[in-house]
Amino acid sequence: MPSSRLRRPFALGAMALGLALAFAPVASQAEAPVAAPVVKYDYDQDIFHPVYAKHGMVAAEHELASRIGVDVLKRGGNAVDAAVAVGFALAVVLPNAGNLGGGGFMMLHDTKSGQDVALDFREIAPAKASRDMYLDAKGNVAEGRSTYTHLAIGVPGTVAGMEHALQRWGTMKLADLIAPSIKLAEDGFVVSPTMAKMLEVEKDNLGKWESTRAIFFKNGRPLQLGDKLVQKDLAKSLRLIAKHGSKVFYQGEIGDKIVAEMAQHGGLIGKDDLTHYKVEERVPVSGDYRGYKVVSMPPPSSGGTHIIQILNMLERYPLAQYGVNSAQTIHAMAESMKLAYADRAEYLGDPGFVKVPVKGLTSKKYADELAQKIDPVKVLPAAAIKPGKPQPYESDQTTHYSIVDAKGNAVAVTYTLNLNFGSGIVAKGTGILLNDEMDDFSAKPGVPNAYGLIGGEANAIQPGKRPLSSMSPTLVLKNGKPWLVTGSPGGARIITTTLQTIVNAIDFGMNPAEAASTPRVHHQWLPDQLRVEKGLSPDTMAILKQQGYQVSVQPTMGRTQTIQLRDDGLYGYSDPRNPDGATLGY
């Protein structure tokens, strides 16, 4: 092993070269978008290898759910059939995020019609919700009230969303798709190391509630590695949904138990809230990036809007020449991220309540204006960034899964309970964990939520309103056909994780395994901190710090589930950050 004395000159030389590259002017690239490099794959050169399948593929955060989805595809079901089956399965095997008591979004490409559709089954604020419901007598945010109490729970949308998707685009019966999940809940499955760790971390929140302890605790402690998680009440609820559809959840026996749980503990959800819940079909937000079409969720998700906004800024930089995770690439990304997140705090909310200038935010001309603020070398402090003016251009815990069927139909679903296990509250007699999604509203404009995100008036609490989200199920199309299906959990970091997956695929020619295995970075404007995963070179870290970034190495970000469609078949990969995930195909 060489001595440190021998290694040091090389390190200094590399740092000097990196500094020279980082400080090289890039203004000349700002005049026109840079074309995408030609993406070529060489099996012998790929460091990480994705899963290959010829006909259909499912990428999800638990192998048992992926197996259920692939089985549906093998039986002739389409991507939506499989998505519904996986959605119910994850409610059983991934209880910290998969859910019946939460909500989310689905992006769909229908090959037959050529249409892209955004399905919104996000939670909704109850009728009794009020703007200042999480403030104490002094006007300050009361700690924990918007996360771990019955007041934190929004009206769930998952069951309605799954049924809606199946009725509109599916081909199979709901009962047949739910049947495997009923068996899993009834018979149980072995607790993995990942689940055991999460239960231990969340034991204080989960342990507050008798109905929750009855499921996830044994002999006074959380279930351990090797224990079996059996969910009899959840199996009963799934049977009821299989037989009666969503009506039993919103107007029948399950809904009655949820309302009773609310009434007993001061929650706000009443019968009318459940009865009036509505799924929305929305027009996706879309943009072009180096010749590819990026299609993602519109508001009340901020994800699609800001992914496209950031890509519009990045398009002027030759990232492929800069290199993966070079100081130059990270600088361009971080500065673009900050500008987009500042706009998120000001403009994004439920389009049913506020006018969101989506067209302006995703305009190429607005990106040109914002990019003028990006110095090739200097860091723009967060304090110097204010939300821009897009109007003139107006003419965590979550889980994601991706599915492609034999006909090329593509589905990307991101749904959530918000924090791990949501509120931690199981509605007595249902086995259903309930969300704490109300924390995604701005409890008090200017005060950060559980993810450190700042919100403004556009995302203030109102009855019947959907809270702002970062969930970003995304499709990338090439020549009008799906080329990449991706998304991730991760709270505030969903947007930047999904963004980097797209950039890794387009700019750096990575396959899904390589894209998922590359260290990630994140900047959300406030706090003024460049968050990075371990794995960046010391030289790059030194350059970034010298430029003025407050660099912080923190735990991993995101858990992508990605499928790429190529001429010779499907290539997919489940993020290695979650060892329970699995991509399977046939």
pTM (2 d.p.) = 0.93
Is 436 marked as binding a ligand? no
Q: What are 142's two structure tokens? A: 């009361």
Q: Which domains does the chain have, with CATH numbers?
A: 54-188+230-585 (3.60.20.40)
Q: Is 470 annotated as a binding residue?
A: yes
Task: Give φ, ψ of 293 to 5 degrees.
Answer: -100, 125
Using CA atoms, how far residue 211 sits from 235, 277, 289, 437, 472, in Å, is 15, 25, 49, 20, 32
Q: What pLDDT, on a 0 to 100 scale, did the predictor assign at position 335?
A: 98
- In this prediction, residue 581 carries a pLDDT of 98
354 in Cβ contact with 47 (< 8 Å): no
Look up residue 492 and give its two tokens: 């505030």
CA-nearest of 474, 561, 503 to 86 is 561
Nearest to 303 by CA among 317, 323, 282, 278: 282
* Whether 296 contacts 285, CB under 8 Å: yes
d(CA 561, CA 572): 8
pLDDT (tens, 9 = 90+) of the chain, 586 residues, equals 333 323 333 333 344 444 444 444 444 444 578 988 876 667 678 889 999 999 999 999 999 999 999 999 999 999 999 999 999 999 999 999 999 999 999 999 999 999 999 999 999 999 999 999 999 999 999 999 999 999 999 999 999 999 999 999 999 999 999 999 999 999 999 999 999 999 999 999 999 999 999 999 999 999 999 999 999 999 999 999 999 999 999 999 999 999 999 999 999 999 999 999 999 999 999 999 999 999 999 999 999 999 999 999 999 999 999 999 999 999 999 999 999 999 999 999 999 999 999 999 999 999 999 999 999 999 999 999 999 888 888 645 799 999 999 999 999 999 999 999 999 999 999 999 999 999 999 888 767 776 667 667 899 999 999 999 999 999 999 999 999 999 999 999 999 999 999 999 999 999 999 999 999 999 999 999 999 999 999 999 999 999 999 999 999 999 999 999 999 999 999 999 999 999 999 9
Q: Measure the CA–CA gap between 431 and 238, rounded to whole angstroms.
A: 10
Q: Which of 217, 231, 196, 177 is nearest to 65 (CA)?
A: 177
Measured N-to-C along each axis, helices 79-93 and 232-244 cross at an angle, to the nearest 10 degrees, of 150
Which residue spans within 409-480 are E strands per DSSP? 410-418, 426-427, 432-433, 474-478
Distance CA 47, CA 42 (A): 10
530-532 vs 551-553, strand pairing mode: parallel
398 is catalytic: yes
Under a CB-based contact definition with an 8 Å cutoff, are residues 466 and 350 in contact? yes
Q: Is 440 marked as binding a ligand?
A: yes
- Bridge partner residues of 402 (DSSP): 59, 412
Residue 423 assigned ligand-binding role: no
The angle, 0 to 180 degrees and rounded to 10, between the axes of the packed helices 158-169 and 174-187 is 140
Q: What tokens appear for 39 in the block? A: 């993406």
4 marked as binding residue: no
Centre a 10 Å sphere on the Cβ of residue 348 and count the other Cβ atoms it contains: 27
Q: What local confidence, expressed as pLDDT, does residue 52 receive?
A: 97
Does the annotation flag 94 for ligand binding?
A: no
Three-class DSSP category at 266: coil
HEC letters along 77-127? CCHHHHHHHHHHHHHHHCCCCCCCCCEEEEEEEECCCCEEEEEEECCECCC
Q: Does 416 carry a binding-site annotation? A: yes
User: What was the pLDDT predicted at 33?
Assistant: 85
Q: How far apart are CA 389 and CA 110, in angstroms?
A: 35
Among 147, 149, 305, 398, the one annotated catalytic: 398
**Are 414 and 139 within 8 A, CB to CB?**
no
Residue 181 annotated as part of some ligand binding site: no
Alpha-carbon distance values, 177 to 115, 186, 198, 555 (Å): 25, 16, 28, 36
Name, in order, each residue with C-beta under 8 angstroms of 241's C-beta and a sequence gap of 6 or more: 100, 159, 174, 178, 248, 249, 254
3-class secondary-structure state, position 261:
helix
